[in-house]
Every structure is written in structure tokens, then in C-alpha cells.
Amino acid sequence: MRTPVDRAILVGAPERGVDPRVGDEHLEELGRLTDTAGGRVVGTLVQRLERPHPRFYIGEGKAEDLRALVRTAEADLVIFDEELSPAQGKNLEDLLEVRVMDRSELILDIFATRARSREAKMQVELAQLEYLLPRLRRMWSHLSRIRGGIGLRGPGETQLETDRRLIGTRIADLKGKLREVAKARDIQRQSRQGQFRAALVGYTNAGKSSLLRALSGSELFVEDRLFATLDSATRSVELGGGHHALLTDTVGFIRKLPHHLVASFRSTLEEAREADVLLHVIDASHPGREEHRQVVAEVVEELGLRGHETILVFNKVDRLTEPERRALEARVRTLEAHAAVFVSALDPDTLVPLRETLKARIRARLSHVMVRFPSVDGETLAALYREGEVMERVDEGATVAVRARIPAELRGRLEARRGIQIQEVA
């Protein structure tokens, strides 16, 4: 959406089997997306369908109603919750004489205005161009209608061909640049090797950034809007007892996230792939929380992260009544194997079990060893205190014996050094 004054009509056309409440929720979410994009909802239209109609997606009679509604509400934009084919989009624009978008296009638009880093901007542009390519003809007819001017009327096939070629070149160019950025990120990532890493994943607005802020004590952008954050952020989180984890906040997921976007954000989500554990954040107070959980689980699977250990983090429990909370806990106990914690990002006390859970994961990865080394080797002693958890230290004259839990990476380094003896402790 180019201006903050777009007056939008939302159209929902759920299949007949869909629960009406779920249909309402989807339309409500589309309204929030419209708001995030800077538009104003001035009307809605719903038709329950057996199956989509090829011409206008909705039935012809309903399309005529929509045309009348556009006139009376003085709308300049129509947004469909369902995905339109390029032909349906064009037919609808011809009939309604205003711009028509579907959910994917709206999400792409929001991402475009919210991307901050150079990488996110390139990722969004790539997704937009790939979305645009099969729809070029429609874009052209749209331009010629609003401008109506000479030279824009009915651009010839040559113009279309030229544009296709230009866009193709730009796509290749962006892909190349993104590969370079990904390489730089790989190097940065390698420097963090050996540290325990967790990634926050979850539906948009579930409270991922709020949690990272609460856990790390650092400032992060939080907003009651869909897609407040696009760029991933990594912070160090102190867990107590000398342990810490690197926690990464990633872009939120949403129902029907355009697959071009998922594809182009793959490298950002690479952070999640490398994580030791995924924290799947769920807004426990949202009526659609079960659907949200499934959407996130599907995207996680699509990204090839299914094998990762996942902890379900039910957030915003401050908004639940005591009986609601008990019902939720009972339900979660019946869920499959995932560990679950119940938290409120607004209340630091509730975060203790989450920290403990993370700490337990870290400790499970440490090996319990007895290390003997010359007492003059201050460097080894310092490393043990810095990177491990020292439990006992005995001075044996010229050598020191230290019993500690240490990460595999430190163990490897010590084993490579001369004069150091390492024994497993049962």
C-alpha cells in the first residue's frame, strides 16, 4: 500500500467445512495486517464456497455485490484472504476498477515497508519480484488504467518481454548478493561455535521479542502489531551458575506465509537451523492458539528443522484466568513429547522455569571430567572457570586436579594440549 489512506474492503471466502468462528478470526487477522500496512478497513464481504470459481474466485453475483460495496464505501482497494490466481486478480480488477490484492501480496507489502537491514531488504525485493513475474500482464493493465495516458495504453508484447528480461536479471543479481551476505554470516556463526544456542520461533505477535528482551535485559523493538520484527537479533542470556545461552529472535510466522518469502528468508532462518534447541513461543491467550501452533510447526518442518529439540513456551499467561490456565496445563500434558513451560514476558518471576529448562539442556551436554595439569598452567585453570562449571579443585603439589563439567569444545582443546590428563567421572 503506497499511502496511509487506502480504504480497503476485506473479502473472505472460506470453504463450507470451515468453522465460522475460524473464518471470522482469519478475517480479523487480515484486518490487523491491513492496519499494519497502513490501510483502513471500510467494509467486509464473506461468501462460503463449495469451491472457488475460476473467474472471480467468488461467484459472479457476489462479485457484483462487491462492486456495489466498493462504490458505496468509496474503497480504493480490495483484499482477499484467499490466494488469487493471476487471471482471477486481473478479472476482479477489470470488474471492480480498483486495485485487488490477496493475502500474500499484502504480507509482501508489509515486509517491504518493515525491512531494515540491507539483507532483509534484498530478501523482500527478491520475493516480490518472483511474485510479480507471472503477474506482469495484470500490473501493466492496472497502470494503464490509472494513468490512462498515451504510451501506457495496451503496452505491446515487446514491452512485456523487456520487463520480464529486466526483472529476470535483477533476480539473478539479488540472488548473487544474498549468497555473499550468507557467506559473511557463516563466518560470524563459526566464531560462536561451542556456545549453546536457542532460537525463538513462533507466530507473529506471540511475544518472541518481548521474551528475548526480558531474558537478556537488552532493548528490542516490541509492538502490538503483526511483523514488528523482520531482522533476526541474537543476544546473550545469563542463566545463572556461570551458564549462558545465545538466544536468537527470528521473523514471525503467519498462516499462508507466501512461499517466496519463506524461501528468501531461508538464510536468516539459518540461525534457527543451527540452534541446539528451538523455543516455540505461543500466545496462550489467543483464541487461535492451536491453529497458530500448527502453522508454526508446518513452517518449521518446511524449513527442515523438524528434528530439532523443541520446548513449547506458552506466553502471556498473565491474561488467563486461573481455571483457563489449569485447563491449558491439562491439555498440554496430553500433547506429544515436547517439554512445555508457562510464562509471561511481563513478569520476570515466571521466567525462572524457562531459564532452568535451558540450563538443564546445557548441563546435559557437558561432560563431567577430572582434569589434571601442571599448577603453573594458569591458562587451563582460567579456561575451566570461564567455560566450564568447576565443582572441586585439589592442589597436588606440582599438579592441580579439577573436577568440572565442560563443553565438548573445551574438552577438545584441552586434549590437544600437552601435559594435561583428562578422566571421565562416572
Using CB under 6 A, list all residues that contact ligand GDP.
202, 204-210, 222-224, 228-229, 252, 315-316, 318-319, 344-346
Least distance from C-beta 343 to ligand GDP, angstroms? 7
* Contact indicator for 389, 404 with CB cutoff of 8 Å: yes
Our finding on whether 44 is near Mg ion (CB under 5 A) is: no
> Smallest distance, Å, CB 206 to ligand GDP?
4
Which residue, 70 or 124, has its beta carbon nearer to Mg ion? 124
* Residue 207 or 407 with smaller CB distance to ligand GDP: 207
Nearer to ligand GDP, 178 or 201 (CB): 201
Contact status, residue 87 vs residue 19, Cβ threshold 8 Å = no
Cα-Cα-Cα-Cα dihedral sign, residues 235, 237, 242, 243: negative
Scanning 41-49, 221-229, 303-311, 364-372 for contacts with Mg ion by CB under 5 A, the matching segment is 221-229
> Could you tell me the smallest distance in angstroms from the CB atom of residue 413 to ligand GDP?
37
Which residue from 382, 163, 367, 197 is spatially nearest to 272, judged by alpha carbons?
197
Q: Which of 249, 278, 301, 272 is nearest to 361 (CA)?
A: 278
123-131, 144-152, 204-212, 336-344 -> range binding Mg ion (CB under 5 A)? 204-212
Binding mask 141-170 for Mg ion (x = CB under 5 A): ------------------------------
For Mg ion, how many residues bind (rule: CB under 5 A)?
4
Output 310 or 380, the one with its CB closest to ligand GDP: 310
Question: What is the number of other CB atoms lying within 10 angstroms of the CB of residue 294?
Answer: 13
Identity of the residue, 91 or 229, whose beta carbon is nearer to Mg ion in the bound complex: 229
Q: Are 131 and 105 within 8 A, CB to CB?
A: yes
State in angstroms the smallest separation of the CB of 207 from Mg ion: 8
> Which entry of Mg ion, ligand GDP, none binds 346, CB below 5 to 8 A by partner kind?
ligand GDP
Complex with ligand GDP: residue 152 or 220, whichever CB lies closer:
220
Whichever of 84 and 300 has its CB closer to Mg ion, that residue is 300
How far apart are the C-alpha atoms of 325 and 399, rounded to whole Å? 56
As measured in angstroms, the least distance from the Cβ of 209 to Mg ion is 3
What are the angstrom distances between the C-alpha of 31 and each of 12, 72, 106, 145?
11, 19, 11, 27
Closest CA to 311 of 260, 354, 269: 354
By CB under 5 A, is residue 209 in contact with Mg ion? yes
* Residue 91 burial (CB count, 10 A): 20
Q: Is 248 one of the binding residues for Mg ion (CB under 5 A)?
A: no
Q: How far is the CB of 364 from ligand GDP (least distance, A)?
A: 27
Asked if 295 and 203 count as a contact pair (C-beta separation under 8 A), the reply is yes
Task: Tell me the DSSP string of 348-411.
Answer: GGGGHHHHHHHHHHHHHHSEEEEEEEETT-HHHHHHHHHHSEEEEEEEETTEEEEEEEE-HHHH
Cell output for 213? 528482551
Instruction: Please choose which of ligand GDP, Mg ion, none residue 30 contacts, taking the beta carbon within 5 to 8 angstroms, the exact cut-off set by kind.
Output: none
Beta-carbon-side half-sphere exposure of residue 92 (alpha carbons within 13 Å): 28
Binding segment toward Mg ion, per CB under 5 A, in 77-85, 222-230, 234-242, 260-268? 222-230
List interacting residues with Mg ion (CB under 5 A): 208-209, 228-229
